[in-house]
Amino acid sequence: MDIMDTIKQQITDNAVILYMKGSPDAPQCGFSQKASQAVMACGKRFAFVDVLTNPDIRANLPKYANWPTFPQLWAGGELVGGCDIIMEMSENGELKKTIEAAVPDEA
């Protein structure tokens, strides 16, 4: 499978996915740490991809998304944004609404 197809499938298959450096439990940069904490605070399950261990995704996601930096948060198949946008949305309550809208209620 082409790397662009892989990225598209990850975004399609996961209601919320965070492309970050490291993992939510062990972030490898301050921006990824802030972003993952904000997403975790929303209380919904989400997927993540460590771009440090996936160099093909790290190299190609910025082209796919037309967004140059990491982390990148996607919800409902749409790019939400990077760390600054995630933090702003977290502070004004939009992040929780966006994630809740993307994630169906878990039974």
Residue ranges for the binding site for [2Fe-2S] cluster? 29
Nearby residues of 45 by Cβ (< 8 Å), 6 or more positions away: 16, 103, 106
List residues forming the annotated binding site for glutathione. 21, 58, 70, 83-84
Nearest to 98 by CA among 5, 6, 18, 9: 18
Nearest to 101 by CA among 38, 19, 16, 11: 16
List residues forming the annotated binding site. 21, 29, 58, 70, 83-84
